[in-house]
Chain A
Amino acid sequence: MRFPIRFPSSKLAGVLAAIALVAVSAVGLRLSDPKGTVDMVSGVPGKPVTFNDGELSVDRVRVGTVLTQNDEVRDRSAGMFVAVAVTGAATGPRELSLGSAELVSKDVHYKTYGLTSVFAAPGFKTSTDIVFEVDPSRVEGLTLEMWRNEVISGYQQRVRIPLGITAANANQWRDAARGWGIDISLSNSTRPIP
């Protein structure tokens, strides 16, 4: 069987080389694109992470399938709730305002359950629970990310603290959540920095 269109070999090689160069350019452009990049400030649970506006720490992580408030069941989950207790301190001259939060695992981004923000005036610190509803089968490596909510934003800082859920202990977390309730009654408190 003969191919209906015949290219001279040098012309074909030229076309293939041109396509290859365009493909390399496309990959290069995609990899170098600075859009959407952020300045990640990483930390570990239990220790405050310092960034431009102050400090943030993850104090405690609780898991469960039921959310309670003032001894009343507020919601139940077919998956599992993760309540991350955080403390933000405005150690600098500006207020600390972290209006956006996500819980991130390998390929999943979980939004917060309800609206949550960490706000503290200069010289104050505030503690709050940030609640997420997650899929129990995808909790390995869950990491909290928080950042300032802005109408106009540029290259901004994003605080990133892993919760300590690893492949080795993920089953323990899942077991701990089963049938357990999380009380979020006293989830917000503000006090001066000593």
Chain B
Amino acid sequence: MLLTELRILIVDTGRVWWRQLPMIMGVYLLGWLGTELTVRVAVIAGDISPWLALVLFAFSFVWTLVAAIVILTLAGRELGIRQLLPKGEREVDDRDTGLTRLIAITLLPFLGMYAAFGQVEHAANRLVTQQWVRYGFLSDQQTVLGALYDLATKHLGWLILLLISIYVGRRLLDRLAEHTGSRILGLVVVLIESFFMLMVIMGGIRVFQTFRLWLRDRALTQWLVEIQNILARLVRINVPEIVSQAWAFVTDQIWPIIVDVLAQPLLWLAVAALVFGSRVLSLAELWRQGQPYAARIPGATAFARYSDKRAFRRIGPAPRGVRLAASRIQEAFFGDIDDKYLPALHSLRLVLRAGPIFLGCYVFVYNLAIIAQNYLERLLHLIVGGHEGQFWVRWEPVFSLVQDALVEPVRLCLLAVAFRRCLEIFVQRSTVRPAAPVRPESTQPVLAGAEAGT
């Protein structure tokens, strides 16, 4: 069972990567070029305003995300993920396949993960390094995140007002883009969204840090420390020392394993699943519950559109007057959150139910890719040898391209293969369990890759 899962994940990933290699590499290189050019322009734009640099810095992530989405879509097509849907459900639907829509729903989890795993900080450090090289270390020119940190720590009210304004502006443009069907407006919405997300995440981190520092100086914290000391004197066992050692063990040994080894692969799989669309996810959700797709009722699954969910839950006549206005406002706000930000959580919940063996194997293969990337970096170091910092600043884009271009597409293909495998596992459950009442026109697909007993 274990070996079967490992074989499927490794062999299928290799196969998809090889078959789609020219397309995948082309897309990846375009994404890389877009990111690098945007970062270079952001460095120069820092001469005019750090805020302009910050806006461009946020856009650079959109390039990376677009490339990842397109590669996942290509791999998904090769694996026939959308073919699992019954024919009638496969019609082109902007909600499922529109690039701007996909970017909108994946942007928060994507930037959130990047921030949580230190990649936003890494990218910001790269930009700051480039700015240092440009201005010199002793320059008083404000760096890219300096402006945001100042706002978050010294003018929190302004930051909140700015975030609300951007959010409202984005929602209005979003509506306009939906109404007119303009792709350019859609793109503008995505760019605003990326800036908004970066502001929320990076500003939020700074606000949280400021709050912790504030809390540390409060009398309440001192009382707690005093209580801790009294307890230590009473109990005779050195409680603070034990707590400190336990905390050190958790933060130094356990937490890195949870974050790097477990959380990162699982969250990436959840975000990748979003790329394959709400209909495929609804299908997976139904199979997981042991039901065929024909049992689907619009609005009944977590991945349904917010308006469908409300219609599904509504009992009685449609609201009128003030209640109608309240309902519209509620839909405008919560609908946006439910449609764009919650799918990532539902998706994570879904993939976590694929079973321990699959998840263990997937985490292992995912980490194999990261380990390979680490050894590739070591090999490059061995070939190039040690050099001073300036050398690495100059050549860093080339070296990171060599490493990432070889490993990143493989990692993305693995995500697509792993999600397809999740679907296979769910479909097996739906055929093994006693099924719910099935409509006569049920078209349960049979997967070629599904193996009995896995």
* Same assembly: yes
Chain B interface size band reads 35 or more
Indicate the size class of the contact surface on chain A.
Answer: 20 to 34
Per the bound structure, the CA–CA distance linking A169 and B359 in Å amounts to: 55
Mark contacts of B382-398 with chain A using CB atoms, 8 A cut-off: 1 yes-contact digit, 0 otherwise: 00111111111100100
With A17-B357, A22-B364, A37-B378 already in contact, the answer to whether A153 and B389 are too (CB < 8 A) is yes
Contacts A24-B364, A152-B393 given; does A14 touch B388 at CB 8 Å: no
Interface contact A29-B389, CB-CB below 8 Å = no
Give the distance in Å from the alpha carbon of A15 to the alpha carbon of B1 in the complex.
Answer: 13
A17 contact set on B, CB distance < 8 A: 2, 356-357, 360
- What's the Cα separation between A11 and B360 when bound, in Å? 13
CA distance A154 to B384 in the complex (A): 12
Contacts of A155 in B (CB 8 A): 381, 384, 386-387, 392
A52 interfacial contact with B, CB 8 Å = yes
Which residues A116-165 have CB closer than 8 A to chain B? Answer: 148, 150-158
B368 in the interface (beta carbon within 8 A): yes
> CA–CA, A6 to B114, complex, Å?
40
Determine the distance from Cα of A26 to Cα of B386 in the docked complex, in whole angstroms.
27
**Taking the complex as formed, is B375 at the interface, i.e. its CB lies under 8 A from any CB of chain A?**
yes
Q: Is the CB of B368 within 8 A of A21?
A: no
Q: Are A151 and B359 in contact (CB under 8 A)?
A: no
One of A11, A14, A19, A37 near B381 (C-beta < 8 A): A37
Identify which of residues 9-67 in chain A touch chain B, using a CB-to-CB cut-off of 8 Å.
11, 14-15, 17-22, 24-26, 28-29, 32-34, 37-39, 41, 51-52
Contact A52 B360, CB 8 Å, known A32-B374, A37-B378, A39-B381: no
**B363: Cβ under 8 A from any A Cβ:** yes
Q: Does B445 contact A (CB under 8 A)?
A: no
Interchain CB contact under 8 A, A29 and B364: no
- Residue from the list B1, B132, B387 in contact with A154, Cβ < 8 A: B387
Interface pair A157/B385, CB less than 8 Å apart? yes
Instruction: Determine if B331 is an interface residue (Cβ-Cβ < 8 Å).
Output: no
Tell yes or no: B94 within 8 A of A by CB.
no
B215, CB-defined interface residue at 8 Å? no
Q: Is the interface of A mostly helix, strand, loop or mixed?
A: mixed
Say which residue of B361, B375, B389 sits within 8 Å of A32 (CB atoms).
Answer: B375
Chain B residue at smallest Cβ distance from A51 = B386
Kindly state whether residue B444 has any CB partner on chain A within 8 Å. no
B262 within 8 A of partner (CB)? yes
With a cutoff of 8 Å between Cβ atoms, the chain A residues found around residue B2 in the complex are: 17, 21
Known: A39-B381, A155-B392. A22 touches B386 (CB 8 A): no
The closest CB in chain A to the CB of B377 belongs to A34
> Do A39 and B257 form a contact, CB below 8 Å, given A25-B363, A34-B377?
no
B396 cross-chain contacts in A, Cβ below 8 A: 154
A158 — which chain B residues lie within 8 A by C-beta?
A: 386
A29 to B396, CA, bound (A): 22
User: How long is the Cα–Cα vector from A39 to B384 in the complex, in angstroms?
Assistant: 10
**Known A-B contacts A14-B355, A17-B357, A34-B378; A154 and B367 likewise in contact (beta carbons under 8 Å):** no
Q: Which residues of chain A are near B150, meaning CB under 8 Å? A: none
Query: Counting CB contacts under 8 A, is B137 at the interface?
Result: yes
Collect the chain B residues with CB atoms within 8 Å of residue A29's CB: 260-261, 367, 370-371, 374
Q: 29 A–B contact pairs at CB < 8 A?
A: A18-B357, A18-B359, A21-B2, A21-B361, A21-B363, A22-B262, A22-B360, A25-B261, A25-B364, A28-B368, A34-B374, A34-B377, A38-B386, A39-B385, A52-B386, A52-B388, A148-B388, A150-B389, A151-B137, A152-B390, A152-B393, A153-B388, A154-B389, A154-B393, A156-B386, A156-B387, A156-B388, A157-B385, A157-B387
| A interface residues with partner B (beta carbon < 8 Å) | 11, 14-15, 17-22, 24-26, 28-29, 32-34, 37-39, 41, 51-52, 148, 150-158
| 4 further interface pairs, Cβ-Cβ under 8 Å (given A18-B363, A22-B261, A39-B385) | A25-B366, A26-B257, A52-B388, A152-B389
